Structure 1
Amino acid sequence: MQEGLSNAGSGISHAVDTHREKEKLLAENESLTRRVNELESKLTNTQLKQNELERLEGLLQLSKDYDQYKTTGARIIAKGTSNWFTTFTIDKGSADGIKKDMNVIADNGLVGCVTSVGKHYANVRSIIDDDSNVSASVSTTEDDMIITGGIEQAQKTGLISFSGLRDTDNKVKEGDAVVTSNISSKYLPGILIGYIAEKKDDTNALTSSGTITPVVDFSHLSEVLVITELKESGN
């Protein structure tokens, strides 16, 4: 009888110890889980800060590349319904000296221009928007062309179209840089747009059409530079 009670007591004690051990392990597991979550959150924040730093450094370099123009940085606070940045809103407006038709740049070149301005915001149309047209020229030959926006093509291929290129000497080649033209009514001259991806002769045998690879990634934009001066004259 005594031995039975002793065995029973030993069993109960073992069960209690096992339960306590499980509770201890569960508590340690919860603590480790919280610690892992905290570390993951810190890593995420660190990566976000690093990404932001890289973007801001890119804008600083861009402002140096176009130091012939005065610029101001702005953040994108809203955009249109498309996943791509065809139209968007920035956090600076007339109170910051922003005016309609001011040029907007990012990455390595032209994004678009300001279309309307409020006191503390401005709306921008990018060059891939369906309603966008840009007078441009090939940097090596100074032959002019018209770049037309097209969101469907941009989404499918990452390219934008050009037409009306008069390349009578057939000197324009794939990979040639395309910049804003002196004859543009809105865009300041010499801003990089992209590079010739494809060129084909038109049926009239006088002009060429084709596509350009833009230097701006229109699917990922967070900050931009606004050139705070306007084109004085143009056709």
Structure 2
Amino acid sequence: MKKNTIEEHTKSKLILFFLSLFCGIMIIASFALEFTNSPLKDAVGVVLTPIQSGINQVGGWFSGKMDYFEDNLKLVAQNEELKSQVDQLTVENTQLLQDKDELNSLRDLYELDHKYETYEKVGARVISKDDSSNWFSTFTIDKGTNDGLAVDMNVMSGAGLVGIITDVGPNWATVRSIIDDYSNVSAQITETEDTCIIAGDLSLTDEGTVRLVKLNDPNSKAKVGDTVVTSQISDIFLPGILIGYISEIGVDSNNLTSSGLVSTVVDFKDIKEVLVIKNLKQKAE
């Protein structure tokens, strides 16, 4: 077996040697006959021309493949660069959208601050929700007693009332919103000055509404679109804070009171920043 391998190797070397020798002779002959004009030159030309043509074709094929390979490498590099640019632009676009949302939120708080400028307020950020739902029925903010906050302080966001502080620590406070099932807010209709109760009901949060109950409206003057704000007679809520607008109203079976629904001005699915009014109702009176 080893002997056969040696013989094949020797045979290959000989073939390569004679081919190289033949090519060398033909090249020399080509140069030598370049300046002659004889039948031998023609004969050599007949032999060399196909060989040179083949060599040129092979060289052209290799050259084309190299160009194709180089072009592919360039395209791959350009593609990677474009992908990197797209990723960077996506990150920047996401950041711009976040900045826009934050700017809009801060603009709303600024307008809210000026609308209730007689109250002393402090801004805070929401740091967690206290339930697994998508709604901010109860949540925690990043300010507490160190910032002068206390239980029963009113909390606002967007365009109006969010809720009230129910618990507080040195650097945190818990807020119960008006959509929570345990929330009841004494309110009134601005247009009629009739009083009512705004009752939280988490089953209505998908509609963006809260319940309006016990509306003292003997003449049935309240109508859809009327403004609902916190009333003067509330024990803990400061008066005149916007809650929302009547979206549904009807007389109760006792023919003495009315009930309905109020569309809230606050989006309780997306609360990031709030304003806490540091004035307590008892001290503000």
Q: TM-score w.r.t. structure 2 length?
A: 0.79
**Residue 222 of structure 1: which of 268, 272, 275 is its match?**
272
- Name the structure 2 match of 1:99: 150
2:170 alignment partner in structure 1 = 119
Q: Which protein is richer in strand relative to its size? A: 1
2:186 to 130, 135, 145: 135
Structure-to-structure mapping, 1:62-211, within 5 angstroms: 62-79=112-129, 80-155=131-206, 157-211=207-261
Determine whether 1:17 maps to 2:67.
yes
Cα deviations by residue, 1:122-158 (Å, 9 ceiling, x for unpaired): 1101000111111111112221111110111122x22
Matched letter for residue 167 of structure 1? D
Aligned-residue identity in percent: 47
Give per-residue Cα distances to partners, 1:65-85, cap 9 Å, x unaligned: 011211111110101211011
Among 73, 79, 92, the alignment partner of 1:29 is 79
Report the alpha carbon displacement of residue 40 of structure 1 after superposing the two structures with TM.
Answer: 2.5
SS of the residue corresponding to residue 17 of structure 1 reads helix
State how far apart, in whole Å, the 2-side matches of 1:36 and 1:210 are: 51
Q: Give the secondary structure class of the aligned counterpart of 2:240.
A: coil
> For the aligned residues, what is the CA RMSD?
1.4
Higher RCO, 1 vs 2 (CA within 8 Å, ≥6 residues apart): 1
> Aligned AA for 1:22?
N
Stretches of structure 1 lacking an aligned partner (at least 5 in a row): none
Separation in 2, partners of 1:149, 1:5:
89
1:116 Cα shift?
0.4
Rg (Cα) greater in structure: 2
> How far did 1:160 drift?
0.8
Normalised by the size of structure 1, how large is the TM-score?
Answer: 0.95
Matched positions, count: 233
Post-superposition Cα deviations, 1:4-29, rounded to whole Å, max 9, x if no partner, equal: 23321221121111101100111011
Q: Which runs of 4+ in 1 moved over 4 A?
A: none
1:43 aligns with 2:93: yes
Residue 120 of structure 1, CA deviation: 0.6
Question: 1:142-200 CA deviation, whole Å, 9 max, x = no partner?
Answer: 21111110111122x22110111111122212111111111111101111111111111
Q: Which has more helix, going by share of residues?
A: 2
